């Protein structure tokens, strides 16, 4: 049935993991609203279009990634049971899913403003390009991070119709955060990546040093968030949110050891979901409850 295949497609792209980037995108939008002095009534429809655009873009990118990696996934013991290698979903249906998600994204971008629409095709090119980077460079983790990191800057553009360079602190923060946890996740495929000739920081540096790099990237995330608090004159609740993120990231790193990845799912999925949601909770509270200094 068609509905069953849709559910399988959402399962294939791990639709629930939209929670990783969506709170940061919405935070970018709220910061733009605060900076521009808009009322929520003026921009509420835009928030819905921003959410739709972000989810559609991620869905297209994830489905494309599964298509691009189908042959690799079939050879990897960790991923060989995914939907395309097992034939649970066909390539034809998956390509259709990608196409529909792209159209939804473009439509949402058009509803936001003309600049968003002009930037939308380049955004899709970037998102699709990521799927090939692990064949080219060990810095693929940073490319993935940037793909998520552009979400808050795009949301700012959606609200104000222009880019403010200050929001790029949040783009950098999300880039470093994502790259850090992606390095942790990639440690699981250290041996497979070496055998297949694929690139990653763990393969390049070894697992212990890769985990050190991941910690360093998460420190950079925190520093970027602190810079954004300074430049946008945020308050104590935003700083408390940074404190919560530090605690969660410290716990995340404690779950993973160079020779023990039995708790990597908790580190990757659970803790990073908490990071994004709690970040949004604290920063949204700061934006709504505290006046700029």
Lowest mean pLDDT among 1-10, 22-31, 83-92, 231-240: 1-10
Other Cβ atoms within 10 Å of 51 Cβ, number: 17
Tokens of 285: 């509270």
Range 117-135 average pLDDT: 96
Q: Which residue has the tokens 């530090």?
A: 246
Helix, strand or coil, per DSSP, at residue 76: coil
Handedness of CA 249, 254, 255, 258 (dihedral sign): positive
Lowest mean pLDDT among 28-32, 36-40, 55-59: 36-40
Is pLDDT larger for residue 293 or for residue 81? 81
Range 43-69 average pLDDT: 94
Q: What is the pLDDT of residue 268?
A: 66
Q: Which residue has the tokens 């000739």?
A: 197
Give yes or no for residue 133 having a pLDDT over 90: yes
Q: What is the pLDDT of residue 37?
A: 85
Tokens of 119: 């930037």
Contacts of 158 (CB under 8 A, 6+ apart): 29, 32, 46, 49, 50, 53, 112, 113, 116
Give yes or no for residue 233 having a pLDDT over 90: yes
Other Cβ atoms within 10 Å of 71 Cβ, number: 11
Q: Report the C-alpha gap between 271 and 6 in whole angstroms.
A: 28
pLDDT band per the 50, 70, 90 thresholds, residue 272: confident
pLDDT per residue as tens digits for the range 77-106: 988 989 899 989 999 999 999 999 999 999
Lowest mean pLDDT among 139-148, 151-160, 244-253, 255-264: 255-264
Is pLDDT larger for residue 110 or for residue 270? 110
Q: Report the C-alpha gap between 81 and 71 in whole angstroms.
A: 12
Range 125-154 average pLDDT: 96
CATH 3.40.50.2000 fits 2-289, yes or no: no
DSSP 204-231: HH-HHHHHHHHHHHHHHHHHHHHHHHHH
Length of the chain: 293
pTM over cut 0.85: yes
Q: Report the C-alpha gap between 142 and 130 in whole angstroms.
A: 10
Give yes or no for residue 235 having a pLDDT over 70: yes
Is pLDDT larger for residue 107 or for residue 288? 107
Is pLDDT larger for residue 142 or for residue 258? 142
Helix, strand or coil, per DSSP, at residue 164: coil
Range 22-50 average pLDDT: 90
The whole-angstrom distance between residue 59's C-alpha and the CA centroid of its chain comes to 11
Q: What is the pLDDT of residue 4?
A: 84
Is pLDDT larger for residue 10 or for residue 212? 212
Tokens of 121: 């095709």
Tokens of 123: 């955004």
Lowest mean pLDDT among 67-71, 181-185, 201-205, 259-263: 259-263
Give yes or no for residue 266 having a pLDDT over 70: no
Give yes or no for residue 225 having a pLDDT over 60: yes
């Amino acid at each position: 049935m068609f509905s069953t295949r849709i559910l399988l497609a959402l399962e294939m792209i791990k639709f629930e993991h939209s929670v990783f980037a969506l709170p940061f995108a919405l935070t970018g939008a709220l910061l733009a609203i605060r900076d521009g002095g808009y009322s929520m009534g003026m921009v509420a429809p835009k928030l819905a279009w921003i959410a739709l655009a972000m989810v559609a873009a991620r869905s297209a990118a994830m489905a494309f990634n599964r298509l691009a990696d189908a042959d690799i996934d079939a050879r990897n013991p960790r991923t060989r049971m995914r939907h395309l290698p097992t034939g649970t979903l066909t390539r034809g249906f998956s390509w259709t899913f990608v196409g529909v998600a792209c159209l939804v994204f473009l439509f949402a971008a058009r509803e936001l403003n003309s600049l968003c629409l002009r930037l939308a095709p380049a955004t899709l090119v970037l998102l699709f390009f990521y799927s090939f980077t692990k064949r080219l460079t060990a810095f693929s983790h940073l490319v993935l991070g940037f793909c998520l990191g552009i979400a808050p800057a795009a949301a700012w553009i959606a609200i104000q119709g222009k880019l403010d360079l200050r929001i790029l602190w949040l783009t950098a923060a999300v880039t470093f955060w994502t790259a850090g946890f992606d390095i942790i996740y990639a440690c699981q495929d250290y041996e497979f990546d070496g055998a297949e000739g694929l690139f990653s920081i763990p393969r390049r540096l070894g697992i212990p040093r890769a985990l050190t790099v991941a910690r360093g990237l998460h420190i950079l995330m925190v520093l970027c968030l602190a810079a954004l608090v300074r430049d946008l004159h945020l308050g104590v609740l935003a700083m408390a949110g940074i404190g919560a993120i530090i605690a969660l990231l410290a716990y995340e790193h404690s779950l993973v050891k160079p020779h023990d990845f039995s708790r990597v799912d908790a580190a990757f999925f659970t803790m990073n979901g908490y990071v994004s949601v709690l970040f949004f909770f604290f920063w949204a509270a700061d934006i709504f409850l505290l006046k700029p200094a």
